[in-house]
Amino acid sequence: MIRTAEQVRDRFANRRLTVEYGDALETVRTILKSVELEGDAALDRWSEQLDGARVQEIPKREWREAYEGLEAGLRDALETAKERVEAFYRKEPQGGFLEATPEGVLGQLVRPLDRVGVYVPGGSAPLISSVLMAAVPAKVAGVGEIVLASPPRVHPAILAAAWVAGADRLFAMGGAQAIAAMAYGTERVPRVDKVMGPGNRYVVLAKREVYGSVGMEALPGPTETLIVADASADPRLLAADLLAQAEHGPDSEAWLLSPEGELLEAVAAELERQLSDLPRADVARQALARSGLVRVESLEQALEWANLYAPEHLCLSVREPLEHLGQVRNAGGIFLGEHSCEALGDYIAGPSHVMPTGGTARYGGGLALRDFLKVIPVVGLSGQTAARLAGLGARLAREEGLEGHARALDLRARHET
């Protein structure tokens, strides 16, 4: 299980986000096209065929009833998570600017999106945290309407989370057909401006196929964590954090990088001990087989390898994590110290758990208010300024071979009032 840094270098350096096609792509394209052309009729047909039920919009009365029916401890957890996520995003600046000078007006208008769709996977484990982690930041950003979609027989906890998050509408619909309905719109399902949320390969492929008709925050891949640890770290906590990641699915990745050989050996033993009674041990073992414990020469090398890997979650389980924060260039989210475990970030720490995967943290970060906002430049130059700049602009236009642009600018150059 323990590897050397050189053994993983190429794998870290050549990572990219991939979606397994198989026979799914043609199925997804067929679903998307039929919903685009036929609307609700195709939506219901696919929903009945794949999920065993027609699409329904679930009224808010049922959300409230589900919330009121929750055990008090779960209600408190939902409310606390919502409050912490909301408080975190209220700190993010979101204003534009408008500056008037003798040359005229230049600025930016910042406007929230009108409508956002959030896909919430169903199945045996209701992802109630996914509701809060997308809908609450959207609410803080001022999005006009938040539409949720989750496969039929929506779990009551998802209904309760929708109530807590302050979403506007919720449809019992899943899979590629739900993405199609939100991307294209039907008589019942409104067209959204952007689709958020994780899903299986059919959902991810559908999101990729409809991009352009609708915006996307990302194409989510398998989840991943990379931990950098020194001798101060507790092997029990490190093993527990690796397993918390590995139990997500067999394609998850959970890495530990450390220069401490004894620590790595202790963590390997702890993993075996904790796996012995983990309910999802089979899944976790498959994930660990594609991940591992890596011996590096120093913490500096560990952080360089971490930047190469660009993890969704980077955990600094070291004595003085703040001293190493400046070395981090690529990460979806950073967790400082072993008390700030990634599992807290999944649910209740404050930032959204929607973060880039598959190495895409090289060019993107975690979900932010800007994902729900659009920036509109504003230009209002005076006649004198326009005349002064027009000749230079015309020179550039002619270099590009765009005479029409140049002539429009020539006319401004002759009028200085």
Concatenated DSSP letters for 138-174? HHHHT-SEEEEEE-SS--HHHHHHHHHHT-SEEEE--
Q: Of 313, 324, 338, 353, which residue is the catalytic one? A: 313
Find tokens 């009674």 and name the residue. 277
Instruction: Determine contact, residues 312/225, Cβ cutoff 8 Å.
Output: yes
286 carries a ligand binding annotation? no
Contacts 24+ apart (CB under 8 A), 211-220: 213/183, 213/184, 214/117, 214/182, 214/183, 215/113, 217/354, 217/367, 217/371, 218/354, 218/356, 218/357, 218/360, 218/364, 219/17, 219/19, 220/354, 220/357
Q: Of 247, 312, 338, 342, which residue is the catalytic one? A: 312
**Is 416 assigned a catalytic role?**
no
184 carries a ligand binding annotation? no
Residue from 407, 410, 405, 404 nearest 390 by CA: 410
Distance CA 40, CA 388 (A): 56
65 carries a ligand binding annotation? no
Largest CA distance in the chain: 82
155 carries a ligand binding annotation? no
Token pair in block for residue 378 = 């504003």
Instruction: Determine contact, residues 196/220, Cβ cutoff 8 Å.
Output: no
327 carries a ligand binding annotation? no
Find tokens 């009108």 and name the residue. 114
Distance CA 125, CA 157 (A): 10
346 carries a ligand binding annotation? yes
248 carries a ligand binding annotation? yes
313 carries a ligand binding annotation? yes
405 carries a ligand binding annotation? yes
**Is 320 assigned a catalytic role?**
no
Binding site members for substrate: 223, 245, 248, 313, 346, 400, 405
Binding site members for NAD(+): 119, 177, 200
Binding site members: 119, 177, 200, 223, 245, 248, 313, 346, 400, 405
Q: Which residues are catalytic?
A: 312-313
